[in-house]
Amino acid sequence: MSAAGEPVDFYFEFSSPYGYIASRLADDLEQRIGRPLRWRPILLGPIFKLTGQAPLTQLPMKGPYAQKDFSRTARMHKLPYRHPDKFPIGTVGACRAFYWMHDRDPAAARKLAKALYRAYFVDNRNIGDAEAVLRIAAETGLDPTALGSAIEDPALKARVKGEVDAAIAAGVFGSPFFIADGEPFWGVDRIPMLEDWVRRGGW
């Protein structure tokens, strides 16, 4: 079943702590499985509307658990984590910036995604603010001018909406979410299972 060389889809929401943690594990995972990850940021807002879910931290009982678990899971992986003061946030600007860059230079888009995640989950910067996204793009060595004028472009908005719709059609309902050869894996704690699945070609 496992198609060597075929990309594995890696869906994530920029406001998701577990998505951030997965992004920090992604390069090593890619090496270990010998298959490229296709980074695909999504927006959980419209997905949660469909599924009737709410952000984890807003749920009774699950909220305090999640809050503790974000930093505990980060520490387990020896990753920096500082829970952002403003949480969760809307990340449509971050998403648009990613796909705009992706259509020009996928490696630069991945670099931007990492910088955005670090800004939010390490440096406590509010990446829900489009200006902050542009500043972070500039700090990453990208030219923010063209991006700045593209960010409200209807074509780019439609591009992001299309990505979210495609994710929903593929069954993505959380972050991180991986799909390998049609098989879905939800959650950073499922990376070992994904890895095993890809290696063995399922079971």
**Contact positions vs a second copy (CB under 8 A):** 47, 50-53, 59-62, 64-65, 68, 72-73, 75-76, 168, 171-173, 184, 186-187, 189-190, 192-193, 196, 203
Residue with Cβ nearer a second copy (61 or 155):
61
189, 174, 177: which is closest to 38 by C-alpha? 177
| Half-sphere exposure in the Cβ direction for 105 (13 Å, CA) | 10
Closest CB 134 distance from a second copy, rounded Å: 33
Residue 156 beta carbon to a second copy: minimum distance, rounded to whole angstroms = 26
- Determine contact, residues 21/77, Cβ cutoff 8 Å: yes
Q: What's the half-sphere exposure (Cβ side, CA atoms, 13 Å) at 187?
A: 9
Helix axes 130-139, 92-102, angle to 10 degrees: 40
**Closest CB 142 distance from a second copy, rounded Å:** 34
Least Cβ distance, residue 45 to a second copy (angstroms): 15
Of 30 and 69, which CB lies nearer to a second copy in the complex structure?
Answer: 69
**Nearer residue to a second copy within complex by CB, 95 or 179:** 179
Give 157 or 190: the residue with its C-beta nearer to a second copy: 190
Q: Tell me whether residue 100 or residue 197 sits nearer to a second copy (CB atom).
A: 197
Question: 3-class SS at 85?
Answer: coil
E-only strand ranges, the chain: 8-12, 37-41, 177-180, 183-186
- Min dist CB 94 to a second copy, Å, is 23
What is the C-alpha separation between 38 and 36, in angstroms, rounded?
Answer: 6
